[in-house]
């Protein structure tokens, strides 16, 4: 049982480049979400999904797109990377009935 799997673990981009952070969960959780973690800021919610085909914006959605075509996958897209998007990104999933979040190991992104 892998839980929540994120790829890649590390990525360096140049300003203006695009990329996709992948997230997959094998627990059949309804909810999935993306957070970013910056020093001293805790975690901030970017986007989330309550089920396949349904997504919504979180606290800091600008510059990011998401889609949820299957229950298992929830990719996060950066269309035109900016230095302000340098951060550690965490994907999480949870069951509808439970508030407990299960986190991936994180993806560290540097935008030059």
Binding site for other proteins (CB under 8 A): 4, 31, 33, 35, 40-45, 48, 50, 56, 58-59, 90, 92, 94, 96, 98-106
Cβ proximity to other proteins, 7 vs 15, nearer residue:
7
Distance CA 109, CA 89 (A): 7
How many Å is the maximal CA-CA distance in the chain?
Answer: 41
State the nearest-atom distance from the C-beta of 41 to other proteins, in Å: 6
State the nearest-atom distance from the C-beta of 108 to other proteins, in Å: 9
Cβ proximity to other proteins, 13 vs 106, nearer residue:
106
State the nearest-atom distance from the C-beta of 73 to other proteins, in Å: 18
Cβ proximity to other proteins, 85 vs 93, nearer residue:
93
Strand partners, 64: 78
Distance CA 74, CA 24 (A): 6
Cβ proximity to other proteins, 18 vs 105, nearer residue:
105
State the nearest-atom distance from the C-beta of 37 to other proteins, in Å: 9
Distance CA 58, CA 52 (A): 17
Distances in whole angstroms, Cα of residue 40 to Cα of each of 44, 68, 82, 88? 11, 30, 20, 13
């Amino acid at each position: 049982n892998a839980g929540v799997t994120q790829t890649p673990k590390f990525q360096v981009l140049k300003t203006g480049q695009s990329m996709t952070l992948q997230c997959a969960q094998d627990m059949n959780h309804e909810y999935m979400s993306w957070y970013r973690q910056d020093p001293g800021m805790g975690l901030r919610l970017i986007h989330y999904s309550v089920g396949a085909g349904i997504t919504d914006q979180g606290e800091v959605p600008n510059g990011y797109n998401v889609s949820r075509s299957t229950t298992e996958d929830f990719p996060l897209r950066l269309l035109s990377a900016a230095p302000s998007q340098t951060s550690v990104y965490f994907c999480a999933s949870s069951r509808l009935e439970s508030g407990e979040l299960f986190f991936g190991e994180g993806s560290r992104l540097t935008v030059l």
